[in-house]
A and B are shown apart, each in its own frame.
Chain A
């Protein structure tokens, strides 16, 4: 075997030096891929603090599930056992429009709702006495009354808007539908009045319309304090399937 000349040896060395080792780069690229895959799966959540209703009036509410057909969840997936490892998904995509009622005023969008609540929040005449600090006033509480057929995805954004405006005292006065609950709550509120536990004064004021009056009574019965704002949400009739 012929010995390699010095020139040949030098040439080989030079060739070796310019070779790029791709292994660490591929390592890093794969690590980057894994990293971005992982962070894509991670969805951080927000949580909205709220308080549930406390009085017997709220517990007397009945359910009327037959009438709740305003949303996709009832018409397609309610009562179905989800398949193993997954949840039942409707086969059709439908859209349910909702509207909100703040006191007597009806609004259509979340932004309008937020603006309306902001007006109430900023109005000094709508402050209520603070029982913890006699002589001072505080922002009134909000009672959210989801109507029959509303879904979690309708109510949670409402709480979101209410919290954003600055209300801290959030209660749920409805929850199971006004059709059956309204009457029961009215009876409960009357019972409260008889035994002398219901607050006197402006909360007994009846406003026009059956629902409005029920809300006013319900507010007194459920919250047990004066001047609270009542907030009702109902599903809109306009439903369509995409």
Chain B
């Protein structure tokens, strides 16, 4: 009986954990004030401290050393998100149709998960790309962590 209970517990813990497998192992800044939020479906931009990013398939779509000021990969990714993700769109008022004046703007947020040492420049570039007509993502979320893994690492190093 206890065996079964623990097996079930482990199963559910792992299942919950698996839902976050798309999240890259980054050192996120520690949240001091904001409380934990529930996870929901959203497009995620993962940024390493060198401005290096890769998509869910593991393909690098932007690397500062390689691409420099060429942000075509970022554009491609955002367009792909627009075309492939099932997004909810900002509702239009009655009688309004989708047009240049009333564009179809995604209402889903984009989660920016960046390493705490990622230069803000790269995040800013991504924000700028989000605002372009090919993307039009107007909501962003910034990921923070409950703990600072770097502090943990430093403490472990000092303990050694």
Stretch from B6-14, B75-83, B90-98 forming part of the interface with A: B6-14
Q: Find chain A residues with CB under 8 A from B31 CB.
A: 46, 157, 160
Max chain B CB contacts within 10 Å: which of A43, A48, A80?
A48
- A interface, over-half SS: mixed
Query: In the complex, A71→B111 CA distance in Å?
Result: 24
Contact yes or no, B142 A34, CB < 8 A: no
A87 and B48 in contact, given A93-B154, A161-B32 (Cβ under 8 angstroms): yes
Q: How many residues of B contact A (CB 8 A)?
A: 64
Nearest chain B CB to A118 CB, angstrom units: 11
Decide yes or no whether A121 CB sits under 8 A from chain B. Answer: no
Nearest chain A CB to B119 CB, angstrom units: 5
Closest A-B pairs by Cβ, 10 of them:
A153-B116, A175-B124, A164-B33, A73-B117, A153-B29, A31-B6, A47-B141, A152-B114, A79-B65, A52-B127
Sample (18) of A-B pairs whose CB atoms are under 8 Å apart: A28-B6, A39-B13, A42-B13, A45-B143, A46-B37, A47-B142, A48-B144, A51-B139, A51-B140, A73-B118, A151-B118, A151-B120, A152-B116, A156-B142, A157-B32, A161-B33, A163-B33, A175-B124
| Partner-A contacts on B (CB < 8 A) | 2-3, 6-7, 9-10, 13-14, 16-17, 20, 23, 26, 28-37, 47-52, 63-66, 69, 109, 111, 113-121, 123-125, 127-128, 130-131, 138-147, 149, 154
